Structure 1
Amino acid sequence: METYIPVLWAIGGLVLILSEFWVSGFVIFFFGTGAIINAIITYFLPIRDNIPLQILLWAINSMLTLFLLRRFIAPLFAGKTIDPEKDTEGEGEKVLVVEDISSDKPGRIRYKGTFWTAITYDEEPIRKDSYAIILEKEGLKFIVSAADEPLFDKTQND
C-alpha cells in the first residue's frame, strides 16, 4: 500500500487543481499544487509510512505556494471585468436607420452588419434610410439621435 501513496497524492492534487474550474477564488489550485509537491517528496524520501508527517508537509507546501505564488499567478487567470452599469459600445458612431424610430415607438438600426432595436428621445422621428448617431447602449438596444446628414450610400456601416 505504501508504494502507491505518491500516486494517491498526485491524483488528489490533480483533482484539486481541476476542481478550481468549478470553485471561484483561485485557492484550491494551490492545495492541489501542494499535493503534487507532496507526491514528489514522498516518492523520493522514505516517509511513505508516516501519514501525519505527509499531511503536515502537504499543509506547509500548500500554504507556501498559496502565499508566495498566488499574487503572481492569479492575474494570469483573471478574466476581463465589464462594468454592467455602462456599456460604451458604439457611442458616437453613425448608423443607418432601417425602420422609423420615434420617441413613443422603437425602431431598428443597422450596426456592424446586424439589426438592433433603437429608441430616441428626439421630438422629431428619425425616418427610415436616414442616419442616426448612437448616444448610448442600454442592454440590447441603442439610444440614438438624428444625424444631420442625409443618406448617400446605403452600403455604409456593413
Structure 2
Amino acid sequence: MSITFIWTLVLVISVIVEAITIDLVSIWFGIGAIAALIGEFFGLSPFIQMVLFTIVSIICIIVSRPLAKKYLRGNTVKTNLDRVIGKHCLVTETITADNKGEVKVMGTLWSATSLDNEYIKAGEYAEVISIEGAHLIVKKINTGDDRLC
C-alpha cells in the first residue's frame, strides 16, 4: 500500500466525518493530510510527511478551533429569566446556609439560596446574582436602594 493512498484515505475519512458531524472535529486532519500529500509530491520521506501532517494539523487546531467555536455557536438568545439577574428582590422566606428560602422578584416568587451561605431573614432585600437550575442565587443588600422588586 502506497503512502499516497494512506494520505488520500486519511483525507477522505476526515472529510466524511466532518460532513456527518455538526462541530469541527476532523477538518484539521484533512488539511494535515493535504500537506502530507504535497510533501509526498515533492519527494519527502514518509517520516517527514508524518511530521508535516502532525504539525499542520496541530497548528490548524490551535488557530481555528477557538474562532470556529465562537462563530459557529451563533447568537445566544436570552430568555426572560435572564432579566432577573441584577434585580433587587424581597426575601419572603428566610435563607440560611442549610435551607433554601424564597424571594419575590419582578412579581414572581422564586426559591433562593444566598451567595457564600449568608443568612438573610424574611423582609430583607437582596440582589439576584445568578440562576442555578430552578432557583436564584442572591446576595444581601442595604435597604436604602429603591430599585423595584
Q: TM-score, normalised by structure 1?
A: 0.39
The higher radius of gyration belongs to 1
Higher helix content, 1 or 2? 2
